[in-house]
Amino acid sequence: MNATDLDNRFSEAAKAYRNKINPNEAFVLQLERELKQSHNRVTSKHRPFIFKPAWAAAMILLLIAATALAGFGPEKVFAKIQKLLGYIPGVGLVERTQLIRILKEPVSLTRDEMTVMVSDAVLTAEKTVVDYHIFNIKSQAEQNDPAESLCQQAPYLLLPDGRQLDFSGGQFGPIPSEFDTASFVLPCLAKGEAPGDWAIALTFVPAPDDYKIHEAIMLQPLPETTIVSDSEPEPEASAETEFVFTQVITTHDSYILYGVIQPIIPNDTAIQIASVPVIRDADDTLISYSVDPALADGQFQPQPGGGISFVFGIPIAGTVFPVRLEIPVRVTAPGQLSDQQPMQIACASWQPEQAAQPVEAVSSSELTTCVSNDNLLSLGEHPDASALRTLAIGADGSLNLHDRSQGPITLAQASIASSTPDLSYIAWVSDSGLTVYSSADGKSVQFPNLNPEALSWSPDGRRLAAHVNPAFAERAIIDIASGETVLSTRLSQEQFAGWSTNGDTLYLLIPGSSGEGWLLMSYGLANDKYQEVAYLKHSSPKRPMAQISADGQWIGYHGDTQASLYLMPLAGGQAIKIIDVPVQMINPAAITSWAWSADSQSITVNLILPDQTEAQTTIVVNLRGCQAYTLPYQGQILGISQ
């Protein structure tokens, strides 16, 4: 079904219900003219969002729901509408009745020890979305003339008939249904790495019957007229706005809410966004909302009649509904400068008809949120803190081992440090280079030529991974017993996440290309192979601080708010938010570092608390009993054991 067919069907439905309720005839005629003019603009121009093929059908529905059907409201119309649209994360809105194709299997190509992997692809009638990753990149320093080899060419898809689909806006054009193969072509690699002209053959198959497409439910538009002005002069009556919620998509962890802010008197005025929107829940807690990049085209786009569209992803877990949307706007006459108009706060509340429950991970530990705003500032001190062994870097750069039998021991002045889970081996970086220390006998070995920027111990203490030169993407893996060092200079943009329990597999993070967060990869030392493990959803875009537990069962990481921490089963499953201190605008809490305990039963977290500007607070969380305490230690805790 194309956009024209869809338009005709809903025009007929709208007329039928218009006759049924008999609205004002002058209004109907004016509305029909506006819709026809809007549709003509859709077919003749190429603006973002409204006029992309993937959004043509969706916008017809939204326009009808937001304007034409505001007074109709029959359930049958909306029942038909909601069957037509669905949502695929990372892809966007799709017609549910169309054929969806996917990549048959991941494929890769290796040349000169560098690998390009295509891990996923989704094909619709409007677009093609391809996820790919690059590994073992050679640095420009290894090339003869890197200045002449900078890559400025985007990837493209080459069809069997020789046509080329260009890459634009994070996607390619649609692949005709008669083709079930195409070549993914990279003319060159980022940062000027050689070789170039990569071509990977892709095969596509129909998506299975159980392929997840989330239902996109059209809402019966019920305008909510509110206006709350700030300290600026009182707005005129003509500046009043109204919210119209048009669509909601329920995923496993969020509601994706669509709508339009529109002026009460259309056409004479237009809405413009003036500042950052704020969403609060029923407890007046600020909500960390998000927008899938595949849906970002629908954010704050001008609409017929002077309105402006919005789309927000509202998390299910931890949100007390209803939520209140507060969007700063300016209402102007068409063509006028908005900064000359007073700012207003357009407000509305929303809640789901039937609250969905977040998908809980199946886990014997029955983890849940242990630290929140409710108890963060009232935690008691650990009852037996003196019995714990800890490793920490103080504010003055001193590396201190707190031993229950010997008391605190200052090992060195260090910029970074790392330890095995049981603190039997410790490594640090100082002016003398890299030092590896055995806490059992007090002996140390120095590597003066290594000055790593990051360190990661295997749980058994056999190996130490080090980023020795991030500028040229070099990694060293040191065998502690023999002292043998294997240097690799073929890396992507990676961060250490930890090791397998036997020390044969190193886990790495690379920036994900699908908008789902950081991608966790495993690297086998024996076979020199990389493999995808999972995306770290809701992870911090800048500092994920990912760490794998010593028992190899969990990966923990910093969340997308300053004071949140997630744990996710390494074997697969739902991530669980262990620490959830929602952000506040003034003096927010923030996690600065954290570490697993040796037995993987607890975590230690360093936090800056609200109104705490200098010293940090250290807390330990017992995961099984969900008990949290403060520790009387200052500095960055790197490890803890009994």
Q: What is the pLDDT of residues 572-605, one digit of tens each?
A: 778 888 888 765 555 667 888 899 988 888 899 8
pLDDT tops 70 at residue 73: no
Write the CB contacts of 200 (distance below 8 Å, at least 6 apart in sequence): 107, 108, 109, 116, 118, 183, 184, 185
Query: CB-hemisphere CA count at 13 Å for 175?
Result: 32
Is the domain of 199 the same as that of 257?
no
For the beta carbon of residue 366, count every other beta carbon within 10 angstroms. Answer: 12
Q: What is the mean pLDDT of residues 227-250?
A: 60
Lowest mean pLDDT among 237-241, 337-341, 433-437: 237-241
574 and 446, same structural domain? yes
Instruction: Return the percentage of the chain with pLDDT > 90, whole number.
Output: 13
The reply to whether 114 and 85 lie within a common domain is no
Rounded Cα gap, residues 566 and 574, in angstroms = 10
Considering the domain boundaries, does residue 581 fall inside one?
Answer: yes
Q: Are residues 47 and 129 in the same domain?
A: no
How many residues are given for the chain? Answer: 642
Q: Which residues of 539-576 are buried (b: 16+ CB within 10 A; e: fewer)?
A: bbeeebbbbbbbebbbbbbbbbbbbbbbbbbbeeebbb
- The residue written with tokens 């909306």 in the block is 78
Least confident of 357-366, 477-486, 630-639: 357-366
Is 361 within a domain?
A: no
Domain boundary among 148, 176, 206: 206
Same domain, 181 and 270: no
- Output the pLDDT for position 31: 42
Q: For position 514, what pLDDT does the model report?
A: 57
Residue 212 is predicted with a pLDDT of: 75
Range of the domain at 516: 371-641
CATH code (residue 465): 2.120.10.30
Per-residue pLDDT tens over the stretch 45-63: 333 333 343 344 445 444 4
* 438 and 576 both lie in a single domain: yes
- Give backbone dihedrals phi and psi of 298, rounded to 5 degrees, phi first: -90, 5
Beta-carbon contacts of 30 under 8 Å, excluding residues fewer than 6 positions away, are none
Q: Is 334 exposed, middle or buried (0-12, 13-18, 19+ CB in 10 A)?
A: exposed
One-letter amino acid of 556: G
pTM: 0.48
Is there a single domain that holds both residue 510 and residue 631?
Answer: yes
- Same domain for 13 and 47, yes or no, is yes
CA distance 611 to 529: 47
Helix (H) or strand (E) holding 408: strand 407-413
- Cα separation of 135 and 522, whole Å? 12
Residue 364 resides in a domain: no
Q: What is the DSSP letter of 142?
A: G
Provide the domain count of the chain: 3
Statement to judge: residues 272 and 419 lie in one domain: no
**618 within 8 A of 631, measured Cβ to Cβ:** yes
Report residue 238's pLDDT band, with 50, 70 and 90 as the boundaries.
Answer: very low
| Pair of tokens at residue 353 | 């008809």
> pLDDT band at 220, cuts 50/70/90?
low
> In this structure, is the dihedral angle defined by the CA atoms of residues 16, 21, 22 and 25, taken in order, positive or negative?
negative
- Which among 599, 587, 548 is positioned nearest to 571, based on CA atoms? 548
**Per-residue pLDDT at 363:** 47
What average pLDDT does range 380-388 have in this prediction?
78
**DSSP conformation letters of 240-267:** -EEEEEEEEEE-SSEEEEEEEEEESSTT
Domain boundary among 187, 206, 225: 206
In a domain, 359, yes or no: no
Instruction: Decide if 283 is inside a domain.
Output: yes
Query: Within a domain: residue 132?
Result: yes
pLDDT at 515: 59
pLDDT confidence of residue 124: 92
Q: What is the per-residue DSSP string for 41-79? A: HHHH---TTTTSHHHHHHHHHHHIIIIITTTT--HHHHH
| Residue 70: CB atoms within 10 Å | 18
241 Ramachandran zone, left/alpha/beta (phi>0; psi -120 to 50): beta
Position with higher pLDDT, 70 vs 551: 551
Domain boundary among 318, 350, 382: 350
Is residue 317 located within the same domain as residue 233?
yes
pLDDT tens digits, one per residue of 611-637: 665 567 888 888 877 888 888 777 788
Decide if pLDDT at 72 tops 50. Answer: no
What per-residue string of b and e applies to 39-65 under the rule 16 or more CB within 10 Å gives b? beebeeeeeebbbbebbbbbbbbbbbb
Is 80 exceeded by the pLDDT of residue 399? yes
pLDDT at 192: 52
Only one residue has tokens 């009993």, namely 625
* 114 & 31 share domain: no
- 127 shares its domain with 271: no
Domain membership of residue 306 (yes or no) is yes
39 confidence band (pLDDT: 50, 70, 90): very low
Please tell me the predicted confidence (pLDDT) of residue 227: 46
Average pLDDT, the chain: 74
Residue 365 lies in a domain: no
